[in-house]
C-alpha cells in the first residue's frame, strides 16, 4: 500500500498541474472508485464540473484537492489510493489507461489542456467530494496549503512526523500509555499518520528497536531516537521517489521510485543485516509480516 513518501511524490507532481486549473469535464467509468463519496457517478460529475482546484494537499496517506468558489461550505476532492490507486497526469485526449476508473479533463491557465486519471487495479482506492472543516489546532490541514482546514474524512487522521504541527511531546505521552507493540502503534493512523509496513520496519531497524517492544516500555531517549529515524527514513524515501516493487507504485508520470534498493529490513528475509551480518528474520504480523534483525533489535526481557 502506498505510504507517506509515495503519496507525497504524487501530491508534489499534481500540485503545479491542478492549482488554478478549471475542471472542463469529468468521466466516471467505474463507480466502485466512488465508495467514499457515498453518491452516484453522475452526481460526482455534476458537483465538479466547471469548478477549479486551488492546491494539492496531503496528510499522512490522504490526498485532497481543495475546490475554489465553494460558497459558505468549502469542499475538496479527496483521494485515497488504497492498495493500488494511481493519480496520473496525461495529455488531453490521451487513450484510456489500463484500470482507469475516473478521468478529469482540466484547463490550466499556464499549462493548457491536460487530464488527471485515477486508475486502480484492485479498486480499494476511492475519490470523493468532502466538506472542509477547521483543524482543531489551528495549523495548516496538511502539506501543500496553508489553510487551516481538512476534509471531514481526514479529521481522525493524526499528523505525520514531517508535519511542522506534529508535536513530539504529545507523541511521547501517547506511547507512554500504550501497552501494545511499538510497530502496531506506528501503524495506528490515529496516533501518527503516513507510516505503513515498509517504513515501520525500516525505522525500527534503524532505531534498533524490536517491533514487539511495548510502546510504554520505551524510554524517552528511545522514543526520540525512533522519531529521528522515522523522519530520516521518510525523507530518504521521498528523495528517492518512494518504494516501488511493481508497476502499481508510480508517480504522476508513471515512473517508479527506487527506495526499494535502500531497504535494510523490509523484504530482506534471510539476507545479512547491514550492521551485524545476522540474517534478517520475517515473522507474521496480523495479515502482513515484520522484518527485523534478531541481534540488533532484541526484545527487552522485562517480562511484561
Angle at 214 between CA 299 and CA 291, to 5 degrees: 55
- CB distance 57 to 70 below 8 Å: no
The answer to whether 124 and 84 are in contact (CB under 8 A) is yes
Decide: residue 107, CB within 10 A, 0-12 exposed, 13-18 middle, 19+ buried. middle
Instruction: Give the residue numbers annotated as catalytic, written as ranges.
Output: 2-3, 61, 288
Q: List the one residue out of 200, 264, 268 whose CA is nearest residue 234.
A: 200
- Residue 262 contacts residue 236 (beta carbons within 8 Å): yes
Annotated binding site for DNA: 99, 122, 178
Q: Cell numbers for 16, please give them.
A: 503545479
DSSP label at 264? S
- H-only helix segments in the chain: 4-18, 41-48, 168-175, 182-186, 197-207, 220-239
Tally Cβ neighbours within 10 Å of residue 170: 13
CB 141 within 8 A of CB 135: yes
In contact, 46 and 34? CB cutoff 8 Å: no
Residues 239/242/246/249 CA torsion (nearest 10 deg): -120
Nearest to 96 by CA among 190, 182, 27: 27
Estimate the share of the chain in helix, then strand, then coil, as percent rounded to the nearest 5.
25, 25, 45
What span, in angstroms and rounded, lies between the C-alpha atoms of 156 and 146?
A: 19
Amino acid at each position: 500500500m502506498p505510504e507517506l513518501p509515495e503519496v507525497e511524490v504524487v501530491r508534489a507532481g499534481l500540485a503545479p498541474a491542478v492549482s488554478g486549473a478549471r475542471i472542463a469535464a469529468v468521466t466516471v467509468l467505474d463507480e466502485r472508485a466512488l465508495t467514499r463519496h457515498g453518491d452516484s457517478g453522475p452526481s460526482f460529475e455534476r458537483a465538479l464540473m466547471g469548478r477549479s482546484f486551488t492546491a494539492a494537499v496531503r496528510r499522512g496517506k490522504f490526498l485532497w484537492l481543495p475546490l475554489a468558489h465553494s460558497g459558505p461550505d468549502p469542499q475538496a476532492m479527496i483521494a485515497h489510493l488504497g492498495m493500488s490507486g494511481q493519480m496520473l497526469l496525461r495529455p488531453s485526449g490521451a487513450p484510456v489507461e489500463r484500470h482507469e476508473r475516473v478521468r478529469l479533463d482540466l484547463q490550466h491557465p499556464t499549462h493548457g489542456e491536460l487530464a488527471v486519471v485515477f486508475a486502480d487495479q484492485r479498486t480499494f482506492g476511492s475519490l470523493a467530494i468532502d466538506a472542509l472543516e477547521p483543524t482543531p489546532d489551528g495549523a495548516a490541514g496538511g502539506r501543500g496549503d496553508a489553510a487551516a482546514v481538512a476534509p471531514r474524512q481526514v479529521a481522525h487522521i493524526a499528523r505525520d512526523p514531517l508535519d511542522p504541527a506534529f508535536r513530539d511531546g504529545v507523541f511521547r505521552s501517547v506511547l507512554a500509555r500504550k501497552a501494545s507493540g511499538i510497530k502496531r502503534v506506528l501503524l495506528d493512523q490515529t496516533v501518527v499518520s503516513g507510516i505503513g509496513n515498509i517504513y515501520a520496519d525500516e525505522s525500527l531497524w534503524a532505531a534498533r528497536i524490536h517491533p514487539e517492544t511495548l510502546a510504554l516500555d520505551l524510554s524517552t531517549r528511545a522514543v526520540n531516537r525512533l522519531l529521528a529515524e522515522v523522519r530520516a527514513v521518510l525523507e530518504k524515501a521521498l528523495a528517492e521517489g518512494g518504494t516501488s516493487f511493481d508497476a502499481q507504485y508510480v508517480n504522476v508520470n508513471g515512473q517508479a521510485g527506487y527506495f526499494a534498493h535502500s531497504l535494510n529490513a523490509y523484504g530482506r528475509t534471510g539476507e545479512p543485516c547491514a550492521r551485524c551480518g545476522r540474517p534478517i528474520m520475517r515473522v507474521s504480523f496480523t495479515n502482513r509480516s515484520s522484518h527485523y534483525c534478531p541481534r540488533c533489535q532484541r526484545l527487552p526481557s522485562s517480562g511484561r
